[in-house]
Amino acid sequence: MKTMKTKVGIVGAGPAGLLLSHLLHLAGISSIVLESRSRAYVEQRVRAGVLEQGTVDLLTQSGLGDRLHREGLRHHGIELRFGGQGHRIDMTALTGGRAIVVYGQQEVVKDLIAARVAADGALHFGVSDLAVHDIDSSSPFIRCQHDGDDLTVRCDIIAGCDGFHGVCRDAIPPGILKVFERTYPFAWLGILAKARPTHEELIYAYHERGFALYSMRSPEITRLYLQVPPDEDISNWPDDRIWTELRTRLETDDGWKLEEGPVLEKGITGMRSFVAEPMQFGRLVLAGDAAHIVPPTGAKGMNLAIADVRVLAHALTRYFGDGRNDLLAAYSQTCLKRIWRAEHFSWWMTSMLHIFPGDDTFGGRLQRSQLDYVVRSTAACTSLAENYVGLPFADP
């Protein structure tokens, strides 16, 4: 039986937990991160790819920008594709110079782990049977199994950064949380392919057979997604079928062709919108996917997790530094404004771009009208662009 003491006990080594630990370290506040998976697993897990301007700025300001700026792909626009034609949205021109950077989530995670390891940060991978205790007292603690031993982490605050399927949110007593939720009648099949991207920017394609997304990770690797039924079995999708469907949904009338190559990874992800309010109870605070989920069409999930942590690290710095409780008490309320904006944007992009099974022809005409409007009207595409690159952070 081993007991450790720290200021902040962090559950989960995803982008939220790791960045929180890093920002607290920069502010001189100790933390211990407990993660159920191995380091290799979290460093290889393929997920998000789009970093908002504010995310890039925050990572850069906190000393994590070197590889991101060397290897990340800075994009100034995206394309909406429908009716066999592409329509570019010039995000930078529409937002006074803001842009996104395409850089895999697992690369952000690798950079964060490297920074924590270099600073001798306490990161414990491979923990099991984790539970949080006494969260409504002034001395909460986390208990888990690590290296065949019982480990207890005593702390002032517990940060639940353990994703949607974690245990922290469920530790809040019944009746406290209000949950707002929507599930969608489709999923995304995603592949990573060793194929040279033949288009410089991301393509969001609306097609009668379903949505498709063209993205990339590097000058050699393409990342592609297809809308599929929600309960789809990946074994129904041999590589040939995936490429045929991608060609059908993505290729244009003017002869643009998809470059194909060996599929390195494939998987299916369900689509959900979810918010739990408030994001805190007693000495437990939730951040990132532990508190909210968006469908990936707006590329907002990881960016929101990082935005939460920015607010939380600042509030905790005040809490431990000058004993000020007000920012911590307002944490949930502060974050929820940005979260609901991203929830709306992600729902809107999802609704505009996917085929809803059973929808009538009226619904399809409304989607086409919306798409036409977005690409023709400066007001409409400015709204898309400013949400996509990420609205500026509120003070501080």
19 binds ligand PHB (CB under 6 A): no
Bridge partners of 395? none
Side-chain half-sphere CA neighbours of 123 within 13 A: 27
Residue 187 interacts with which of ligand PHB, ligand FAD, none, CB < 5 to 8 Å by class: none
300 is catalytic: yes
Of residues 45-74, those binding ligand PHB (CB under 6 A): 48-50
**Residue entry with tokens 């603690």:** 141
Of the candidate residues 215, 222, 273, 332, the single one contacting ligand PHB (CB under 6 A): 215
Candidates 184, 204, 206, 319; catalytic one: 204
The DSSP output letter for 194 is: S
Q: Residue 303: name its binding partner from ligand FAD, ligand PHB, none (Cβ under 5 to 8 Å by kind).
A: ligand FAD
CA distance 346 to 343: 5
Write phi, then psi, for 94 (nearest 5 degrees).
-85, -10
Residue in 216, 218, 220 with CA at minimum distance from that of residue 191: 216
Min. distance of Cβ 161 from ligand FAD in angstroms? 5
- Considering the complex, state which of residue 98 and residue 223 has its C-beta at the smaller distance from ligand PHB: 223
| Helix 361-376 with 331-353: angle, nearest 10 deg | 110
From 32, 42, 80, 285, residue interacting with ligand FAD (rule: CB under 6 A): 42
* Cβ nearer to ligand FAD, comparing 16 with 59: 16
Closer of 25 and 223 to ligand PHB (Cβ): 223
Which amino acid does the sequence have at 70?
R
How buried is 119 (Cβ within 10 angstroms: 0-12 exposed, 13-18 middle, 19+ buried)? exposed
- Give me the amino acid identity at 165: H
Q: Give the burial class of 149: count Cβ atoms within 10 A of its Cβ; 0-12 exposed, 13-18 middle, 19 or more buried.
A: exposed
Site string for ligand PHB, 167-206 (x = CB under 6 A): -----------------------------------x----
Closest CA to 189 of 265, 84, 248, 274: 265
Instruction: Tell me the pairing of strands 141-146 and 149-154.
Output: antiparallel
Name which of residues 145 to 184 contact ligand FAD (CB under 6 A).
Answer: 161-163, 166-167
Question: Is 75 annotated in the active site?
Answer: yes
Q: Which is nearer to ligand PHB, 223 or 292 (CB)?
A: 223
Does 190 bind ligand FAD (CB under 6 A)? Our answer is: yes
Binding footprint of ligand FAD on the chain (CB under 6 A): 11-17, 34-37, 42, 47-50, 105, 127, 130, 161-163, 166-167, 188, 190, 269, 288-289, 296, 299-303, 305
Binding footprint of ligand PHB on the chain (CB under 6 A): 48-50, 202, 213, 215, 223, 296-297, 299
